[in-house]
A = this chain, B = another copy of it.
Amino acid sequence: MRTLYTFFRSSTSYRLRIALALKGLDWEPRFISLPRMDHRTADYMALNPQGLVPALVDDGQVFAQSLAVLEYLDETHPEPPLLPTDPAGRAYVRGLAQIIGCDIHPLNNVRVLKYLKARWQLSDDDTNEWYRHWIEEGFRSFEATLRAGCRHGRYCLGDTITIAEICLVPQVANARRFDCDLSAFPLSVEIAGAAAALPAFAEAHPSLQPDAF
């Protein structure tokens, strides 16, 4: 049995919950509360010295960094595939996932918002503005890449779910939680909506997790 160290509201944990569900893999949750700083306890740091969620324990080994874990799950459980087979298509899908994983999420992570508030006494309004700035810039980039790529169908690459939707859906959910206006990115929002309706995505939603509050 594999174990996922997860926090309901962590969008990187959400990515892995979706992937595990898509692959039909059983897992046991261990709930790591970020507000309670569970991720920085000695016990958790001994397991994952990065001190971040999520972490997956599979076959006695610990895996961190959600994008790396998505590829691991895809390589160890190839069906259904989360990446196409051709190198150019794989680069396209990975690139879309990384717009979210590298250009949006790291800037809007809770640890970053906390630092901005603690170090420079920024207000909630200030950090919300910061949050929305990077959402807007990142989604502009995502939407433009989708439109330039012209490879979308129901999803980012034709009608097949890939790691692009696995990253997109949690980021859209986060953006909505921060009241971001996504109306300038209709294609991204439409794709996210279609993916979010799938059972694997729906059951991974933060609000349905046992640690949700």
Which A residues contact B (CB, under 8 angstroms)? 45, 49-52, 59, 61, 63-65, 67-69, 71-72, 75-76, 87-88, 90-92, 94-95, 97-99, 101-103, 105-107, 112, 115, 119-120, 122, 126, 129-130, 133, 141, 144-145, 147-148
Across the two chains, which residue of chain B brings its CB closest to A69?
A: B91
Contact B98 A68 (CB under 8 A): yes
Given contacts A72-B88, A122-B120, contact A49 B106 (CB under 8 A): no
Chain B CB within 10 Å — which of A45, A52, A64, A119 has the most?
Answer: A64
| A52 partner residues in chain B, CB cutoff 8 A | 103, 141
- Selected contact of A68 from candidates B51, B95, B130, CB within 8 Å: B95
Contact A65 to B98, CB < 8 A, known contacts A71-B90, A87-B75, A144-B50: yes
- Verify A65–B107 contact, CB threshold 8 A: no
CA distance in complex: A90, B76 (Å): 11
Q: Is the CB of A90 within 8 A of B75?
A: yes
Q: Bound state CA distance, A149 and B120, in angstroms? A: 36
Are B50 and A72 touching (Cβ within 8 A)?
A: no
* Nearest chain B residue, comparing its CB with the CB of A142: B50
Contacts of A99 in B (CB 8 A): 50, 65
Q: In the bound complex, how far is the Cα of B106 from the Cα of A119, in angstroms?
A: 19
Cα of A67 to Cα of B103 in the assembled complex, Å: 12
Check if A49 sits within 8 Å of B120, measured CB to CB.
Answer: no
> Could you tell me the distance between the alpha carbons of A49 and B138 in the complex, rounded to whole angstroms?
11
Chain B residue nearest in CB terms to A86:
B75
Query: Which of A45, A69, A103: most chain B Cβ within 10 A?
Result: A103
Contacts of A101 in B (CB 8 A): 98, 102
Residues of the B chain whose Cβ atoms lie less than 8 Å from the Cβ of A129:
119
Are B49 and A148 closer than 8 Å at their CB atoms?
Answer: yes
Which of A51, A88, A91, A107 counts the most chain B CB atoms within 10 A?
A: A91
Partner of A145 from the list B49, B103, B107, B148 (CB cut-off 8 Å) is B49
Which residue of chain B lies nearest to A126 when distances are taken between CB atoms in the complex?
A: B120
